[in-house]
């Protein structure tokens, strides 16, 4: 990965990847929405409200996978001091926060007709809310330091400490009494939901991940160019002061 530490090489790679990721993302999203709306059966208990699953579940998956990516990038930054790892983690945080907020919002809308309440302080909902706070705290910590090196070190430590929340989210339905049903997709004995529902769920899950990849690369390219401009501005100011 060190060969991509050069910003110019990274930008060239990103420019080659972005068009394909955009095309695949649009195709996956279009196919997923079509199957979810027209090829997925109505649930015998939930009726058409079950279709909220196709927004809620992929956003919940993405909220956790993005945090895992952010923590991995932070680990690389701390241990190997990869110059783009911090940029990747910083760029991922707002995207993950949006996915988490979307999971909480759609979960509340889905929960009202099923549970009779928009919110309940059960293990799953509370731990996902904690995940949102971790994202917000990470972004706020970046703004609290003027020195990027100190900010990077502090935020990387926070990201790694917050990883402990991911297994809590995953296993909360098994550890505590909760309104959420046990895992129905990722099970050792196989999924328990109908294949007609599983197909659009996986397609939209892929679409969300491709969306994350596209926005991540855009944000990383923006941050690299911003830092390049800042360095050039500082050099120009130094030369003016020296003159």
Condensed to tens digits (0 to 9), the pLDDT of residues 170-211 reads 888 777 766 666 666 655 555 657 678 889 999 999 999 999
107 in any annotated domain = yes
101 in any annotated domain = yes
The residue range of the domain holding 164 is 2-236
93: nearest Cα among 30, 7, 39, 158: 158
179 in any annotated domain = yes
Condensed to tens digits (0 to 9), the pLDDT of residues 78-113 reads 998 887 999 999 999 999 999 999 999 999 988 888
Mean residue pLDDT of the chain comes to 87
| CA geometry: angle 163, 168, 169, nearest 5 deg | 95
242 in any annotated domain = no
How many Å from the N-terminal Cα to the C-terminal Cα in the chain?
Answer: 41
| Cα–Cα distance, 119 to 108 (Å, whole number) | 6
243 in any annotated domain = no
92 in any annotated domain = yes
Q: Are 98 and 119 in contact (CB under 8 A)?
A: no
Q: Are 76 and 143 in contact (CB under 8 A)?
A: no
Number of domains in the chain: 1
Q: Are 39 and 231 in contact (CB under 8 A)?
A: no
Condensed to tens digits (0 to 9), the pLDDT of residues 120-156 reads 888 889 999 999 999 999 999 999 998 888 999 999 9
List helix spans (H) across 116-186: 123-144, 148-162, 165-175
pTM of the model: 0.90
69 in any annotated domain = yes
Helices (H), strands (E): how many in the chain? 7, 0
85 in any annotated domain = yes
């Amino acid at each position: 990965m060190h060969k991509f530490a050069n910003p110019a090489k990274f930008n060239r790679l990103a420019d080659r990847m972005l068009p394909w990721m955009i095309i695949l993302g649009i195709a996956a999203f279009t196919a997923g929405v079509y199957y979810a709306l027209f090829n997925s059966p109505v649930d015998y208990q939930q009726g058409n409200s079950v279709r909220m699953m196709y927004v809620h579940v992929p956003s919940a998956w993405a909220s956790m996978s993005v945090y895992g990516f952010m923590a991995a990038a932070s680990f690389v930054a701390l241990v190997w001091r990869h110059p783009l790892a911090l940029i990747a983690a910083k760029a991922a945080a707002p995207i993950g926060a949006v996915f988490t907020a979307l999971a909480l919002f759609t979960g509340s809308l889905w929960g009202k007709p099923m549970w009779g309440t928009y919110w309940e302080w059960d293990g799953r909902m509370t731990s996902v809310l904690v995940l949102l706070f971790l994202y917000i705290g990470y972004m706020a910590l970046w703004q609290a330091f003027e020195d990027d090196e100190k900010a990077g070190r502090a935020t990387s430590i926070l990201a790694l400490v917050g990883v402990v929340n991911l297994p809590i989210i995953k296993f909360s339905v098994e550890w505590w009494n909760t309104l959420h049903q046990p895992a129905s997709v990722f099970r050792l004995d196989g999924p328990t939901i109908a294949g007609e529902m599983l197909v659009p769920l996986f397609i939209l899950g892929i679409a969300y991940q491709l969306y994350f990849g596209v926005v991540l690369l855009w944000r990383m390219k923006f941050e690299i160019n911003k830092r390049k401009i800042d360095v050039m501005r500082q050099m120009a100011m130094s030369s003016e002061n020296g003159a």
